[in-house]
Amino acid sequence: MAQYDYDLFTIGAGSGGVRASRVAASHGAKVAIAEEHRVGGTCVIRGCVPKKLLVYGAQFAEDLKDARCFGWDVPDECNFDWQRLRDNVMKEVDRINSVYRETLTNHGAEIIDERAELVGPNEVKLASGRTVSAKHILIATGATPHVPDCPGHELGITSNEAFHLDAVPKRILIAGAGYIANEFAGIFHEFGAKVTLINRTDVILRQYDHQIRDRLLQISMMKGIDFRFHAEFRGIEKTENGCLNVSMTNHEDIEVDCVLFATGRVPNTGGLGLEAAGVEYDEKGAVRVDEWSKTNVPSIYAVGDVTNRMQLTPVAIREGQAFADTLFGDNPHQVDYENVPSAVFSHPPMAGVGMTESEAKETLGSVKIYQSDFRAMKNVLANRNERGLYKMICDGENGKIVGLHMIGPEAPEILQAAAIAVKAGLTKQAFDDTVALHPSMAEELVLMK
């Protein structure tokens, strides 16, 4: 009789857990994966996918206006039906959820639709009370929105609920200045809401290059998004007319219809039984792992947001793949975290890879910066006074590109291709040697001064 019920038991069927389980099963392991909410995890159910579809929906607000300059008759008042978009987005989420379930099942991984908690180095307890054993356990429980502990915080929502609203709020206050806050600010603004974004400091998108994020701030303010800086939440109260009165430091109270907390995401380890299994975690609750995603308990591993390394879907997927190949596929490899591209799907979007200007200046002896500050052709004809900015950061010693950052239409699409060149260690000269593809926005990449 086998010593354990499974070779691998995965807790959490999100980006990392699904990839690890599917690959482990395809390598011949006996795999079970437990999910307490919906297979697909944050990215598919309440993250990247529904968010990007809302971003597409929001972009039509500008495109419809601009269309007039391109000869199209568009009525002054275009109706937008939030519920239709929301329901279509949810249909697509359901479709991807089914595809994920099928993929797991087709590869022989057993899906257990229950919450699971660790009870020992090789044991997991399910919500139904059943206990199962596994030779290896993978923690892939992701992260969860952090909500500040202020009076009335329960009156606010997080990104989890934003996808299910009955209507677009007329006035929304978004707390936070990271990518989720700025993306939802753009989405709700384009859908006609009066958006106020409040932040404890006066910096938005801290990890991004200062010129690129300043450009987004400038454009967002020009569009009518209201920013309140050095504002710390004091509390939320429901008023007699059913609205929300928000008080904060350094600013007057504001009345809104909805408060969205986008104040960071914390590793989802509460009540997971880490202590029972002897798994070490840090002060933020993130599971501590080595470069093989192994915890201090030899039978237990962790991948994805729960480890708080880089909270991005493609990173969680790579960690899951590397874990499964290493343990079950006789193909040991580790994830390379250098030059991972990322984007903010704001209006306009921004994207970057590698070091920012200030990081490069701190790290390298000498740095050379090249830029292109331009108005996209389409924006010129549409009388849209919005400029794109591309910025290349090179090692002054050898010309090697160490960072590439951009804001402008389609920036994430363009940056994904350019990130290959940065990852490959190309120099500015290689870009100079490449003939421009005209007329395009991407040609600015090879024309930077």
Known catalytic residues? 438
| Inter-residue contact 10 to 33 (CB < 8 Å) | yes
Which residue number, 305 or 357, has a Cβ lying nearer to ligand FAD? 305
> Would you count residue 89 as binding ligand FAD (CB under 6 A)?
no
CB distance 19 to 321 below 8 Å: yes
The piece of 73-81, 169-177, 282-290, 299-307 that touches ligand FAD (CB under 6 A) is 299-307
Q: What share of the chain is helix, strand, coil (3-state, %, to 5)?
A: 35, 25, 40
- Residue with CB nearest ligand FAD? 14
Task: Identify the CA nearest to 291 among candidates 340, 339, 335.
Answer: 335
Encoded one letter per residue, x for contact with ligand FAD by CB under 6 A and - for no contact, window 179-218 reads -x--------------------------------------
Interface with ligand FAD, residue 157, by CB under 6 A = no
For 254, the token pair is: 């504001």
Give the phi and the psi of residue 413 in degrees, each rounded to 5: -65, -40
The one-letter amino acid code at 142 reads G
Q: How far is the CB of 117 from ligand FAD (least distance, A)?
A: 6
> Among 7, 9, 10, 11, which residue sits at the site for ligand FAD (rule: CB under 6 A)?
11
In the complex, the smallest distance separating the C-beta of residue 351 from ligand FAD, rounded to whole angstroms, is: 11
Q: In the numeric block, which tokens belong to residue 25?
A: 């099963």
Long-range contacts formed by 415-422: CB under 8 A, 24+ apart: 415/341, 415/343, 415/351, 415/352, 415/353, 416/341, 416/351, 417/442, 418/353, 418/442, 418/445, 419/339, 419/341, 419/353, 422/339, 422/353, 422/354
The amino acid present at 76, given as its one-letter code, is D
Binding mask 51-70 for ligand FAD (x = CB under 6 A): x-------------------
> With respect to ligand FAD, which residue has the nearer C-beta, 185 or 367?
185
Going residue by residue from 373 to 412, which x/- string records binding to ligand FAD, judged by CB under 6 A?
Answer: ----------------------------------------
For residue 16, CA distances in Å to 38, 293, 322, 338 come to 14, 11, 10, 19
Q: Which is nearer to ligand FAD, 130 or 375 (CB)?
A: 130
Q: Output the six-digit token pair for 435.
A: 């003939």
Instruction: Say whether residue 220 binds ligand FAD (CB under 6 A).
Output: no
Cα separation, 146 vs 426, whole angstroms: 39
Among 27, 115, 136, 384, binds ligand FAD (CB under 6 A): 115
The piece of 64-72, 109-117, 210-218, 366-374 that touches ligand FAD (CB under 6 A) is 109-117
Q: Are 186 and 220 in contact (CB under 8 A)?
A: yes
Residue 118 as a binder of ligand FAD (CB under 6 A): the answer is no
Among 4, 26, 36, 223, binds ligand FAD (CB under 6 A): 36
Q: Does 176 bind ligand FAD (CB under 6 A)?
A: no
Copy the structure tokens of residue 263. Answer: 């104040």
- Cβ atoms < 10 Å from Cβ of 270: 10
Among 156, 176, 186, 304, binds ligand FAD (CB under 6 A): 304
Cβ count within 10 A of residue 206 = 11
Is 8 a binding residue for ligand FAD by CB under 6 A? The answer is: no
Looking at the chain, how many residues does it have? 449
Least separation, in Å, of the C-beta of 311 and ligand FAD?
A: 4
Stretch that binds ligand FAD, among 91-99, 137-145, 225-233, 423-431 (CB under 6 A): 137-145
Cβ 5 to ligand FAD shortest distance, Å = 17
Interaction of residue 125 with ligand FAD, rule CB under 6 A = no
**378's torsion region: left (phi>0), alpha (psi -120 to 50) or beta?**
alpha
Distance CA 190, CA 56 (A): 11
Residue 104 lies near ligand FAD (rule: CB under 6 A): no
The site map against ligand FAD for 245-284 (x = CB under 6 A) is -----------------------x---x------------
What mask of x and - would describe binding to ligand FAD in positions 306 to 335, judged by CB under 6 A? x----xxxx-x-------------------
- Closer of 64 and 96 to ligand FAD (Cβ): 96
- Nearest C-alpha neighbor of 140 from the set 286, 351, 356: 286
Q: Which residues bind ligand FAD (CB under 6 A)?
A: 11-17, 34-37, 41-43, 47-48, 51, 115-117, 140-142, 159, 180, 268, 272, 304-306, 311-314, 316
